[in-house]
Structure 1
Amino acid sequence: MAEIRHERFALPTGVELDVALGGDPASPPIIFLHGFPESHRTWRHQLPDLAEDHFVVAPDQRGFARSSKPPEVADYAPDKTVGDLIALADALGIGRFTLVGHDWGGAIAWMAALTRPDRVERLIIINAPHPYIFQKSLIKDAGQRAASQYIRAFRNPNLEKHLEAIGLEAFFDGTFAKHVDTAKVGDERAVYLDQWSQPGAMTAMLNWYRASSIVVPETGEDAEPPAFLSQPFPPLRMPVLVIWGLGDTALLPCQLDGLDALVPDLKIVKVDAGHFVPWENPEAVTKAIRAFLA
């Protein structure tokens, strides 16, 4: 297995990101984007393997771990985080690259592929919904709307006071652990608690939800669809692999329905895992990525 090193990059987008790197910079590049509430550690099983014959790059995105935590909600809008991605690729001398994203990292990966197809050569999505299908399901699918009510809770401006009162350990056990196979977290629990306890970290991580324009109606609410759902949505032209853990209770398998109409060059691999697929079933994820890249 290749060695993974860590560097900190000051980007022209105004943030500094801690980044895990591995492999020969002359090898084909893969950039990995983690989601909430994680860090580059999401990819701890994939990076050493893929670094054997690729140049792998996995940042702690803005707001997470010890990377910069800008103070405003608007600092976490998707265009800001896509900007970080492109700026990091530029700093590393990377032109076109394979982009891998999970959860919020997958949301940014979808956005980057849609807005910067000149840079994203291939796209790999792991349990992260396409924005059109996700928004449609939040209006039309009662099950997905119910499963997504946590987003409304995370947008509550008083949530940090509640977390301060109960403690991060209680948040881990009462909220995060409900969506994971805790037996597979192992000694990562201490890593999570350390990263979440960094000054401003919880607010910064929650601001990703607050900055999103996705509409999450209340359960049972008669909600009007956003205007963009009635308009043609641009298809992606690059090859796309979607790896989906079918045990995900936050993002239901309905997120795969109709995806082929928006992604003509699509391969879907369904795996036995919950939401946090890269470390709940790492062998299946690495195998699927390698088969796609081959």
Structure 2
Amino acid sequence: MLSHHIQLNGQPFHYLGWGKTGAPTLLFLHGFPEYSAAWAPLATRLADQYHCIAPDQRGYGQSWSPEAVEHYKTHLLVSDMTALIDHLGGGPVTVIGHDWGAAVAYGLAFRHPELVNRLIILNGVHPAPFQRAMAAGGAQTAASQYFHTLRRDGAETWLAENDFARLLTLFSAKMDTSWLSGDTLAAYKTEWARPGRLRGMINWYRAAPVRLGAPGEALTDLPPIPADKFKVAMPHLLIWGQNDTALLPVSTEGLEDYCADLTRIDIADADHWLVHQQPDRIAAEIRSWLA
């Protein structure tokens, strides 16, 4: 594994790399509250055949973390990754996204399909089905209530208190985080404690355009979602840990309407943190699908 510090769009960014330059590139995009090294369990299992690249996205780790919420709009997060792909020698590349990283991965697929030859999502959601599910007043609305908590002023301070106790509680959310211990936990806390990082991480929630009501409240005044702007033109693999309590299966219903070529693999004994729980299985599924 090699650590790289570069400039993207005039700002400092950091990424990790595994494997040999010149091999097909896999671009790994982490979610909340992770960082580049979250992909190590998967990248180390694929580095024999691929050049694996995992950046700290804006607001995370050793990358640029502006304070203002407006710096975290999706098109800006996508622009960071288009600049990274250009830095790596240009596309197309295979993009792998998890959680919020999936939002950026889908954004790349929508806005820059010439840069993405394959799209792989691990427990992440396409914005159209997710917004429908969040707004319906049902199970996903209830499961997403933490959005309201994270969007509040001062949420980053509240989460950091008592050695990140509340952040760790939110992280687990009735899911298996037994992998988050020892040196791994210490490394995560180091990244969270960097000045301004926790605010940057939370700003992804504040800047997101998705709307959410109270538990049981259905929102009926959503603007139309133009299907042509949210098409996934390239082959798309969705790997889904079925025990996820934050993102529910209903949030993926209708995904096939936006995809020209969709493959879905459900894993019954994994949850939102499937990369850490079953890296051998996930790596094998990715390798098989790409082959």
TM-score bracket, normalised by the shorter chain, equals: over 0.9
Asked if structure 2 preserves the Cα contact closer than 8 Å seen for 1:139 and 1:225, the reply is: no
Q: Displacement, 1:141?
A: 4.9
Structure 2 matches for 1:1-294, cutoff 5 A?
4-12=1-9, 14-164=10-160, 166-187=161-182, 188-229=184-225, 231-233=226-228, 234-271=230-267, 272-294=269-291
Q: Which amino acid aligns with 1:221?
A: E
Q: State the aligned residue count.
A: 288
SS of 1:226's equivalent in the other structure is coil
CA contact (8 A) 1:144 1:252 kept: yes
The structural deviation recorded for 1:196 is 0.7
Q: How far is 1:179 from its partner?
A: 4.8
> Counterparts of 2:42 and 2:90 in 1: how far apart (Å)?
20
RMSD of the TM alignment (CA)? 1.5
In the TM superposition, what is the alpha-carbon distance from 1:222 to its structure 2 partner? 4.2
SS state at 2:211 partner: coil
Task: Give the superposition deviation at 1:20.
Answer: 0.6
Identity %: 35
> How much does 1:111 deviate?
1.1
In the alignment, structure 2 segments of 5+ residues that lack a partner are none
Name the stretch that deviates more: 175-184 or 250-259.
Answer: 175-184
Structure 1 residues 184-193 or 281-290, which shifts more?
Answer: 184-193
Q: 1:167 deviation in Å? A: 2.6
Secondary structure of the 1:129 match is coil
Which letter does structure 1 place at the counterpart of 2:60?
F
Amino acid at match of 1:41: A
* Contact 2:26–2:53, Cα closer than 8 Å, also in 1: yes
Can you give the 5+ residue segments of structure 1 that lack an aligned partner in the other structure? none
CA distance in 1, matches of 2:204, 2:44: 28
1:276 aligned partner, one-letter code: W
- Distance in 1 between residues matched to 2:118 and 2:43, nearest whole Å: 17
Q: For the Cα contact (< 8 Å) 1:135–1:214, is it kept in 2?
A: yes
- Name the aligned partner's letter for residue 21 of structure 1: G
Deviation at 1:176, TM superposition (A): 1.6
Deviations 1:148-174 (A, max 9, x none): 00011110013234235x333312442
8 A contact 1:179–1:274 mirrored in 2: no
Q: Give the distance between the partners of 1:220 and 1:133, measured in 2 at CA.
A: 18
Deviations 1:193-244 (A, max 9, x none): 1111110111100000001001111113342242124x43442210000010
Q: Is the 8 A contact 2:72 2:207 kept in 1?
A: yes
Helix, strand or coil at the partner of 1:184: coil
SS of 2:31 mapped into structure 1: coil
Q: Distance in 2 between matches of 1:261 and 1:176?
A: 31
* CA separation of 1:135 and 1:291: change in aligned 2, threshold 3 A: same
TM norm structure 2: 0.94
- TM-score computed with the length of structure 1 as normaliser: 0.93
